[in-house]
């Protein structure tokens, strides 16, 4: 008989690990919620008690197990065209500005990073927005998007690009016609041309980000900082601002606290920040 009931000390240990490894704050009142999530996880992983699971997750070389556990503690919920104000800004200001700059610099490179990308809903929406804006000229650009997360299952789903219809509810209807193919059983797949422009990678935002090349024209880091403590948020925003190109933009979630971003960047709109352009 499996013993999945979390006891206080195990719950505290899980909270500590989630915070230490991934900066995630698990609220003190989340014990029963965690308990039910862990039951689901343990029925798949074959662990017979939380104590056994924790023991293994703490051992060297089992980072993958810890990631799996934490994945089940945080939410990967996302959807296409989330926070429409960001997509309107993209179409009306950011992309026109960038397009002018590319012409001026005789460059074809557009560098965008969807940090905490979940299953790619955000990254694919941005590719679709770029295709809408540039039309046939999109083919002349080198406009791949890097999509990163710690949730390995979400990253795998993203690379597959298949989603149930409710995730497209907020997307402009004509995008659905152009960029999705129906597979049956209420499931759609993002078309290959759009899938080809997103590269999924595992990346923990609370670790040093110096392996990234930087100079991003846009970084989206939305609806993840709510899980982090204050120091982790500030550190992250500082790292992200260093990775932006001069004049590059950072989008955060509308419910994310903007205070830290204001320290390093100019606020343009709620949840939109910009790094100063070189004068
Ligand atoms: C609610 S989703 C946000 C998805 C998308 N950005 C959006 O706004 O719809 C939060 C994501 O943050 C990821 N996450 C949590 N901690 C992370 C960390 N330390 N590094 C990278 N991603 C993390 C989770 O795995 C989850 O996929």
- Cβ neighbours around 59 below 10 Å, total: 11
- Domain contains 92: yes
User: How sure is the predictor about 1, in pLDDT bands with cuts at 50, 70 and 90?
Assistant: very low
- Cβ neighbours around 47 below 10 Å, total: 22
Q: How far apart are CA 165 and CA 102, in angstroms?
A: 36
Residue 203, CA distances (Å) to 40, 64, 176 in order: 25, 13, 30
Please determine, for residue 158, whether its predicted confidence score (pLDDT) is greater than 80.
yes
The pLDDT of residue 55 is 86
The atom number, within ligand 1, closest to the CA of 77 reads 1
Residues 148 and 237 in one domain: yes
The pLDDT of residue 165 is 97
Pocket of ligand 1 (CB under 6 A): 22-24, 74-78, 82, 116, 118, 122, 149-151, 154, 204-206, 222-224, 227, 253
**Ligand 1 centroid distance, CA of 139 (Å):** 30
Residues 266 and 208 in one domain: yes
- Domain count within the chain: 2
Residue 155: give its domain's CATH number.
3.40.50.150
**Ligand 1 centroid distance, CA of 180 (Å):** 24
Residues 69 and 142 in one domain: no
Average pLDDT over residues 52-61: 82
Residues 115 and 246 in one domain: yes
Please determine, for residue 279, whether its predicted confidence score (pLDDT) is greater than 70.
no
**Ligand 1 centroid distance, CA of 152 (Å):** 11
Closest CA relative to residue 69, chosen from 86, 52, 94, 84? 52
Strand partners, 109: 142
Residue 60: give its domain's CATH number.
1.10.155
- Domain contains 68: yes
Q: Which of 149, 203, 227 to mutate to test the pocket of ligand 1 (most atoms within 8 A of CB)?
A: 149
Residues 118 and 231 in one domain: yes
Q: What range does the domain containing 49 cover?
A: 8-73
Please determine, for residue 94, whether its predicted confidence score (pLDDT) is greater than 60.
yes
**pLDDT per position as a tens digit, 120-141:** 999 999 999 999 999 999 999 9
Q: Spell out the SS3 assignment of 250-278.
A: EEECCCCCCHHHHHHCEEEECCEEECCCC
Q: How far apart are CA 118 and CA 225, in angstroms?
A: 13
Domain termination site, one of 49, 73, 97: 73
């Amino acid at each position: 008989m499996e013993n999945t009931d979390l006891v206080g000390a195990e719950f505290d240990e899980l909270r500590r690990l989630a915070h230490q490894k991934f900066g995630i704050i698990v609220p003190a009142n989340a014990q029963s919620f965690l308990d039910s999530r862990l039951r689901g996880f343990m029925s798949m992983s074959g662990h017979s008690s939380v104590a056994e699971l924790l023991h293994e997750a703490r051992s060297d070389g089992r980072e993958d197990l810890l990631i799996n556990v934490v994945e089940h503690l945080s939410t990967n919920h996302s959807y296409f065209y989330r926070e429409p104000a960001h997509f309107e800004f993209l179409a009306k200001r950011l992309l026109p500005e960038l397009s002018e700059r590319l012409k001026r610099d005789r460059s074809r490179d557009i560098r965008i990073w969807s940090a905490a990308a979940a299953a790619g809903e955000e990254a694919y929406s941005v590719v679709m927005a770029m295709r809408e804006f540039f039309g046939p000229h999109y083919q002349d650009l080198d406009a791949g998007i890097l999509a990163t997360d710690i949730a390995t299952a979400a990253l795998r789903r993203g690379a597959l690009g298949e989603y149930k219809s409710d995730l497209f509810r907020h997307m402009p209807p004509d995008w659905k016609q152009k960029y999705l193919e129906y597979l049956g059983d209420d499931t759609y797949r993002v078309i290959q041309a759009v899938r080809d422009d997103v590269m999924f990678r595992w990346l923990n935002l609370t670790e040093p980000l110096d392996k990234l090349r930087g100079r991003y024209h846009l970084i989206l880091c939305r609806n993840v900082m709510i899980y982090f403590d204050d120091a982790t948020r500030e550190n992250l925003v500082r790292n992200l601002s260093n990775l932006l190109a001069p004049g590059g933009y950072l989008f955060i979630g509308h419910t994310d606290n903007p205070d830290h971003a204001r320290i390093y960047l100019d606020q343009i709109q709620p949840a939109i920040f910009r790094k100063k352009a070189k004068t």
